[in-house]
Structure 1
C-alpha cells in the first residue's frame, strides 16, 4: 500500500497488488454517521428509474441462473428493491444489511447467488467481506456486483463517486480479476460498472464401480502369464 492522493482533506492509498484505492482507515466514517447517510437514500422499489438502474445487474444475472435459484441481497439498505425484482422473477430471496436487516440467520445459509448493488465501495475490510461472500455462495453460484469502476487517476479528485462520505474503497476492473483469482472465481464484466463473479462447482467425482466382487473372476488389473510360461510357475523358476 502506498500513498496515492491527498484531496479535499482526505488521504487515499493505492494497493499495488490489486490497484484498488482506499480512503485512509483513520478517515472512515463512524457507524452512526454512515447509517445517517444511508437513510438519505431514496431507493423506492416502485420507482421506474431506480428499477432501470438495478436492471443493469438483474438482466445479465437472471440469464445465468437456474429457475427458482435462491439468492441473498447482501447490503440491501433501507429499501430492498433488488430483492423485490428478483422475487418477481421467481427467485426466493433473503436480505441482509448491518444497519437495516441484521438477520444472523441470513448469514448462516448458502445461496445460489448473492447480490451487492452499490455495496462493495462501503467495505471497511474488503478482504474479510469477500471471504464471507465466498462462504455464502454454493459451488456453482454467482456473485453480482454493481459499483462505479475507477478508470483514469487524473479524474479521481473531481470524481463524484469519491465525494460520497461513505465510499471508502474504489475498484478497477483489474481489482476484480485479482479478487477472482484469489478465490478461484471466474470474472465477467457484462456491462458498465457491473461485475459477475462465478464460483465454479467442483469437478464430478468418477462413478464408483457398482459390481460386487467375484472371487472366481480374474481382476482386470492382474498380470496375465505369457504364452511361454506355465501359469503355476514361480517368476524365479525360469
Structure 2
C-alpha cells in the first residue's frame, strides 16, 4: 500500500489548477444537473485533495469522503446516499465485483453513480494504450462491461463523452 501511495502522491490534483477543475467538471456538471437540491453524496476514492466534493458542495450538495489511503472513514460506508462519485478510481479496484456490490449497496433507489475512467476500446488499441502502463491501474472496463453492470444492478446508464458514465438505480428497487 505504501508503494501505491507513493505513486498517488506524485499526482498534482489541486483546487487551484484550472485544467484539473475543467477535467472534473465533465462529471460534476452533469451530476449537479441531475441531483435534487441538497442531495447527500459520497466521493468514493476522493484522494488527498477532495476537489470534486468541493465542487459538488458548491452546487449545494452535502458530500462525505472515503478513500482507503487518504480518508479512511469507514463509518461513511455504513449508510446510503443519493449519489456517489468515483473519478479515476475503479481502475484501482483489486476486487471489482466486491467493490461494485458495495457501491451499489450504498446508493438509495433512484440514486446516482457517476464514474470517470478510460474505457478499453479493443484488444489492438489496448496494446498501445498509455492508461494500462500506470502500475496502479489493475482493472479495466469497456462499454459492454458498463452496460453489464447497469443490467446487473438494475440501472439506467448514460455515457457522456469517452470516459464519463452515469448510472441511476431503478427508483422502484428496494434497498439492500
Answer with 1 or 2: which has the greater Rg. 1
Between the aligned partners of 2:161 and 2:81, the Cα distance in structure 1 is: 23
Equivalent residue, structure 2, for 1:14: none
* Cα distance in structure 1, aligned partners of 2:85 and 2:4: 21
5+ long unaligned stretches in structure 1: 1-30, 204-238
Question: What residue number does 2:87 align with?
Answer: 117
Q: TM-score, normalised to structure 1's length?
A: 0.71
Extract unaligned runs of 5+ from structure 2.
none
Give 1 or 2: higher helix fraction: 2
Shift of 1:159: 1.0
Partner SS for 1:77: coil
Equivalent residue, structure 2, for 1:175: 145
Residue 202 of structure 1, CA deviation: 1.3
Match of 2:132 in 1: 162
Q: Secondary structure at the match of 1:90?
A: coil
Matched with 1:66 is 36
Question: Would you identify which runs of 4 or more consecutive aligned residues in structure 1 move more than 3 Å?
Answer: none
Compute the TM-score of the two structures, normalised by the length of structure 2. Answer: 0.95
Residue 146 (structure 1) aligned to one of 116, 140, 154: 116
The alignment partner of 2:27 has SS state of helix
The alignment's C-alpha RMSD in Å is: 1.3
Using CA pairs under 8 Å that are at least 6 residues apart, name the structure with larger relative contact order, 1 or 2: 2
d(CA) in 2 for partners of 1:100, 1:43: 14
- 3-state SS of paired residue (1:143): strand
User: Hey, what does 1:46 align to over in structure 2?
Assistant: 16
